Amino acid sequence: MKFLGWKQVILALAGFALIILALIAAKAVPAEALSQVIEKAITKPSGWRNILKESTPLILLGCSVFLALKVGLFNIGADGQFVIGACAAVVVALNVPGPVAIPLSIIAGILGGALWALPVGLIKAYRGGHEVITTIMLNNIAGFFTFYLVSGPLKDPTSQQPSTASIAPSAELPNLFQQDTFRINSSLIFAIICVLALWWYLKRTVGGYEISATGQNVNVARFAGINVNKVIVRTMSASGGIAGLAGALQVLAFEHRFYGNFSPGYGFDALGVALLAGGNPLGILASGTLFGTIAESTSVLSRTGVPKGLSYILLGVLVIVFAAYRYRKEAQRGTDS
């Protein structure tokens, strides 16, 4: 069975040509750029350390967006929920002494993200407000609100930048493995567990079935006796909770403080991660790692003078080609049936 037609092949080649032209426009030699990526990002332990660091929040946020997509919602607000979760986690970590700060900070991050997403679910379920509008608005509110906090009430008096103080070493998530410049933080385990738990929940539980049924057809789900409004509110809040967990782990594992403009746009990249995973949440592990690899590769290239914005071209081409492949695949299935 052929799923990849000549149009998709042309699209892939055009995307590859676009990347080459972007490198040339940036005054880079494509072969040398590729060599730099392989040498410094793919084959070096420090490169994989950074890839795993970038991939961890993308995998978690990919789970957040994927869950919302399954119920038929576009959680564009994952970035804001990520920021709120991170801010809530750092507040707890700075005020609770000892190792107990870790679980309490994680819980605070989950609750922060879930509560930030709750109004979106309520407005969608009971007033029909579009979640894209409400989540974008809440993203802006989250950004401005947390920037105010780190510029005022939460600001470290010893810092000239809008930032909190660093959390205590006892509140930091430990590394699972560390040797020279390579290390794996335990937050990666949280990300893997989250993917597996999401797969199990959606495939093996009644709640997961209700989410899938609601996402496929709201009217049919309602006719089958499913409380659609409750499912929407619950799923949106859970999606926000996962995004908040990602923010909490980012603080505890990598940043160890919270500062203005905390997110580099992970929540928006997570849309691509979730879409690239297709219909299987297990695919989030691969797509999140791929996005993390692209992010580290463009960081390497930026040190040679290539604009870091090249990553948006790479990610855009990747998503478009994959979407075209999936469209062809679904069309072929419809023909066969």
| Together in a domain, 12 and 151 | no
Question: In terms of domains, do 250 and 325 share one?
Answer: no
Which CATH number do you get for residue 190?
1.10.3470
- pLDDT at 226 exceeding the cut of 70: yes
In a domain, 41, yes or no: no
Residue 127 pLDDT exceeds 60: yes
> How high is the pLDDT of residue 39?
72
CA atoms within 13 A on the CB side of 12: 10
The answer to whether residues 149 and 91 belong to one domain is yes
Report how many domains make up the chain.
Answer: 2
pLDDT by residue (tens digit) across 70-96? 999 999 999 999 999 999 999 999 999
279/132: higher pLDDT: 132
Instruction: Say which residues have a Cβ less than 8 Å from residue 152's Cβ, sequence separation at least 6.
Output: none
Q: How confident is the model at residue 276 (pLDDT cuts 50, 70, 90)?
A: confident
Residue 31 lies in a domain: no
131 shares its domain with 273: yes
Output the CA torsion sign for 269, 270, 275, 281.
positive
Q: Is 128 found in the same domain as 96?
A: yes
Say if residue 325 is in the same domain as residue 203.
Answer: no
Domain membership of residue 40 (yes or no) is: no
Statement: residue 3 has pLDDT above 60: no
The verdict on residue 220 lying in a domain is yes
Residue 34 inside a domain? The answer is no
Question: Which structural domain range is residue 278 located in?
Answer: 50-305
Taking the C-alpha atoms of residue 84 and residue 262, their distance in angstroms, rounded to an integer, is 10
CB 299 within 8 A of CB 50: yes
- Grouping H, G, I as helix, E, B as strand and the rest as coil, residue 182 is strand
* Domain presence at residue 17: yes
Give bridge partners of residue 72 from the DSSP assignment.
none
Q: Is residue 43 part of a domain?
A: no
Q: Is the pLDDT of residue 237 over 90?
A: yes
Asked whether residue 185 falls in the same domain as residue 314, the answer is: no
Q: Are residues 22 and 118 in the same domain?
A: no
DSSP code for 183: E
Residues 183 and 63 in one domain: yes
More confident residue, 333 or 278: 278
- The answer, yes or no, to whether residue 62 has pLDDT greater than 90, is yes
Same domain for 184 and 313, yes or no, is no
Tell me the average pLDDT across 98-119: 96
Distance CA 50, CA 292 (A): 8
Q: Could you tell me the pLDDT band of residue 272, with boundaries at 50, 70 and 90?
A: confident
In this structure, the answer to whether residues 109 and 21 fall within a common structural domain is: no
Query: Looking at the structure, do residues 199 and 247 belong to the same domain, yes or no?
Result: yes
Residue range 11-20: mean pLDDT, rounded: 66
Map residue 237 onto helix, strand or coil: helix
Tens of pLDDT, residue by residue over 286-309, are 989 988 888 888 777 777 666 766
Do residues 150 and 164 lie in contact, with contact meaning Cβ atoms separated by under 8 Å?
yes
Indicate whether 142 belongs to any domain. Answer: yes
| pLDDT value at residue 41 | 72
